[in-house]
Amino acid sequence: MLELRNMSPTSKNTKKKTKVFVGLSGGVDSSVAAALLQKEEFDVTGVFIKVWQPPFLPCTWREERRDAMRVAAHLDIPFYTFDFEKEYKKEVVDYMIGEYKEGRVPNPDVMCNKNIKFGAFLDKARAMGADLIAMGHYARIKRMGEGSGEKKEARKHLLLKGVDENKDQSYFLWTLTEKQLAQTLFPIGGYKKSEVREMAEKFGLPTAQKKDSQGLCFIGKVEMKDFLKHYIDEKPGDAIDTKGTVIGRHEGAWFYTIGQRHGFMIAKKSAHELPYYVIGKDIRANTITVADQQIEEGFAKREVILKDVNWNYATPQKGKNYQARTRYRQVLQACEMLPLGNETQVVFAVPQNVAPGQSLVLYDDDQCLGGGIIA
Report, as residue numbers or ranges, the catalytic residues: 112, 217
Contact between 117 and 108 under an 8 Å Cβ cutoff? The reply is no
3-state secondary structure the chain: CHHHCCCCCECCCCCCECEEEEECCCCHHHHHHHHHHHHCCCEEEEEEEECCCCCCCCCCHHHHHHHHHHHHHHHCCCEEEEECHHHHHHHHHHHHHHHHHCCCCCCHHHHHHHHHHHHHHHHHHHHCCCCEEECCCCEEEEEECCCCHHHHHHCEEEEEECCCCCCCCHHHHCCCCHHHHHCEECCCCCCCHHHHHHHHHHCCCCCCCCCCCCCECCCECCCHHHHHCCCCCCCCEEEECCCCCEEEEECCHHHCCCCCCCCCEECCCCCCCCCCEEEEEECCCCEEEEECCCCCCCCCEEEEEEEEEEECCCCCCECCEEEEECCCCCCCEEEEEEEECCEEEEEEEEEECCCCCCEEEEEECCEEEEEEEEC
